[in-house]
Amino acid sequence: MIAQLLPTEVVAVDATLDPPEATLFPEEAEQIRNAVEKRRLEFTTARWCARRALAGLGLPAMPILPGLRGAPQWAPDVVGSMTHCNGYRAAAVARTSDMAAIGIDAEPNDTLPEGILESIALPQERGWVRQLMRTAPEVCWDRLLFSMKESVYKAWFPLTGRELDFEDALITVNPLARTFRARLLLPASALKEGDPTGFSGRWSAGGGVLVSAIAVPATVPATVGGQQNAPYQMLVGSAA
Ligand SMILES: CC(C)(COP(=O)(O)OP(=O)(O)OC[C@H]1O[C@@H](n2cnc3c(N)ncnc32)[C@H](O)[C@@H]1OP(=O)(O)O)[C@@H](O)C(=O)NCCC(=O)NCCS
């Protein structure tokens, strides 16, 4: 499911079951020593996916430990991202020579709990979410918006080492092409040289799961209007 959302330079592996043969390195196991079973399983299977993905890049199995603010620590020449939700786990990795950042996120295709949309969505985003909830109710657009923002954060944080709030990214979606864009709303004073000012990504829905994915090429600025954001018609919530 996830590999189709990412460029060929990215190796992505997903799983809908927890393989019994999945194991952890001792230092990884230490990280979840006191965790409940659900956490152990998602942590372990995401790393099983990651090691298979790393093997696809020709790299050996290695521990993948949580680093600053929980961001996974990859080998120096690797970028990647992991996600897990009920019934779905995934990892995506690439060489830093090809990609500057990857952000992936999976969520159940269920509507957000009451009140959450208001806390994560900008007014313009609430507008397209409500419209699409009426016209294409097979996708929980509120949850998909949440997933896209999580993908943005997972790409942003390893690139910059800085936090990003939900109101800092304005998401627009193309429901037919299954693409999305994030325009960062940070004031110029909050941006440092080389920071991305936007991201573009792809999304999918299937098997009760929503997945969003962003891959930032190493050689192209991650800005809206950059080459990676080749123009496409924004059908809903167009803001770019
Ligand atoms: C960290 C966060 C993005 C994780 O997303 P989630 O939907 O809760 O959980 P997922 O299962 O999809 O992803 C978990 C994985 O994200 C990765 N992750 C955690 N913190 C991360 C960070 N700071 N940067 C990048 N990746 C991170 C880890 O690999 C983690 O898996 P692991 O704990 O097994 O190693 C989320 O909990 C969070 O803190 N969000 C607030 C910030 C935010 O989203 N802002 C919106 C900006 S528009």
pLDDT digits (tens, 9 = 90+) for 109-166: 999 999 999 999 999 999 999 999 999 999 999 999 999 999 999 999 999 999 999 9
pLDDT band for position 27 (cuts 50, 70, 90):
very high
The whole-number average pLDDT for the span 78-98 is 98
Domain end residue (candidates: 103, 129, 155): 103
Query: What confidence score (pLDDT) does residue 219 get?
Result: 82
Q: Among 236, 230, 234, 155, which residue's Cα sits nearest to residue 197?
A: 155
Query: What confidence score (pLDDT) does residue 234 get?
Result: 32
Q: Return the amino acid letter for 97.
A: S
Domain end residue (candidates: 56, 71, 103): 103
Residue 162, CA distances (Å) to 19, 62, 154, 188, 235 in order: 34, 26, 11, 15, 31
Does the structure show a pLDDT above 80 at 172?
Answer: yes
SS3 127: helix
Q: Per the domain annotation, does 36 fall within a domain?
A: yes
Does the structure show a pLDDT above 70 at 225?
Answer: no
Query: What confidence score (pLDDT) does residue 123 get?
Result: 98
Query: How many whole angstroms from 67 Cα to the centroid of ligand 1?
Result: 12
State whether 99 and 122 are in the same domain. Answer: no
| Residue 93 and residue 74 in contact, taking contact as beta carbons nearer than 8 Å | yes
Query: What confidence score (pLDDT) does residue 235 get?
Result: 33
Tell me which residue range forms the domain holding 62.
3-103
Domain end residue (candidates: 103, 131, 157): 103
Q: Per the domain annotation, does 131 fall within a domain?
A: yes
* Ligand 1: nearest atom to the Cα of 64: 35
State whether 47 and 127 are in the same domain. Answer: no
Pocket probe for ligand 1: among 40, 68, 85, 150, the residue whose CB has the most ligand atoms within 8 Å is 150
Pocket probe for ligand 1: among 79, 83, 214, the residue whose CB has the most ligand atoms within 8 Å is 83
Q: Angle at the Cα of 219 (from 218 to 221), degrees rounded to 5?
A: 90
Q: Per the domain annotation, does 235 fall within a domain?
A: no
pLDDT band for position 237 (cuts 50, 70, 90):
very low
The whole-number average pLDDT for the span 89-101 is 98
The whole-number average pLDDT for the span 166-170 is 98
Query: What confidence score (pLDDT) does residue 212 get?
Result: 98
State whether 118 and 225 are in the same domain. Answer: yes
d(CA 82, CA 105): 7
Query: In the sheet that 209-217 helps form, which strands lie side by side, from edge to edge?
Result: 99-108, 209-217, 198-206, 179-184, 169-174
State whether 126 and 99 are in the same domain. Answer: no
The whole-number average pLDDT for the span 71-88 is 98
Q: Per the domain annotation, does 234 fall within a domain?
A: no
Query: What confidence score (pLDDT) does residue 230 get?
Result: 34
State whether 94 and 148 are in the same domain. Answer: no
Number of separate domains in the chain: 2
Query: How many whole angstroms from 71 Cα to the centroid of ligand 1?
Result: 7
State whether 123 and 198 are in the same domain. Answer: yes
Scan for tokens 């997933």, then name that residue.
147
State whether 156 and 176 are in the same domain. Answer: yes
The whole-number average pLDDT for the span 93-109 is 98
H helix runs in the chain, sequence order: 26-31, 37-56, 116-120, 123-135, 141-160
